[in-house]
Amino acid sequence: MEIFEISSVARILMVKPSRIKNWTIGRPFAVKPTIQTAKGKGSRNLYSVEDVNMFALINQLLKDGISARTIKLLLKMIPQASLTATSVEGHPWWIISISGKNVLLDRSTSPLLSFTEEDFSGKYILNIYNLLNWVSRRIVREQVGLLKGKEK
């Protein structure tokens, strides 16, 4: 089992550790560490690969302009423990439909076959498989010590 501390997660995703900490304590998301939650002074949160994948998903959605409110709704639909490259292999594309307060998540083998040009209004399409594979490659680099310094 692979275990990551907050500093490793931050290096893997190329974000500041404070961002991961905020997402763990509920600012604006509450992604709970599945390995160990810090309890008291001197203890640490310990994260699984699936946790790192969840943080990567959140980070990508924010970078692509998806609102925190929409991401919170999506997090309720996605079981954290099942967010692996293997689990999404058969349906690598996620189509997120946003309409007012409603958010729908559709998993697809090929989104371009499913929609006409008019259908793209209010939709966000993400290749989740590619994102999770990118995280996997970054994890390997972290494990062999290639991410310890500053990386661009």
pLDDT of residue 148: 65
Kindly state whether residue 137 falls inside one of the protein's structural domains: yes
What is residue 91's predicted lDDT score, i.e. its pLDDT? 82
Specify the number of domains making up the chain: 1
CA–CA gap between residue 68 and residue 9 (Å, rounded) = 20
pLDDT digits (tens, 9 = 90+) for 16-58: 999 999 999 888 988 899 998 888 888 899 999 999 999 999 9
Residue 95 lies in a domain: no
Q: Please report which residue ranges of 5-89 form alpha helices under DSSP H.
A: 6-13, 17-25, 49-63, 68-77, 85-88
The answer as to whether 49 is a domain residue is yes
Domain hosting 70: range is: 6-85+131-143
**pLDDT tens per residue across span 62-103:** 999 999 989 998 888 887 777 887 788 788 888 888 887 888
5-14 pLDDT tens trace: 999 999 999 9
Residue 115 lies in a domain: no
Q: How far apart are CA 117 and CA 11, in angstroms?
A: 38
Does the residue 99 lie in any domain? no
| Inside any domain, residue 25 | yes
Output the average pLDDT for the chain.
Answer: 85
Contacts (Cβ under 8 Å, ≥6 apart) of 20: 6, 9, 10, 13, 55
Structure confidence by residue, pLDDT tens digits, 110-152: 765 555 555 556 788 889 999 999 999 999 998 888 766 545 4
Q: In terms of C-beta density within 10 A (0-12 exposed, 13-18 middle, 19 or more buried), how is residue 57 classed?
A: buried
Asked whether residue 45 is domain-assigned, the answer is yes
Q: 3-class SS at 98? A: strand
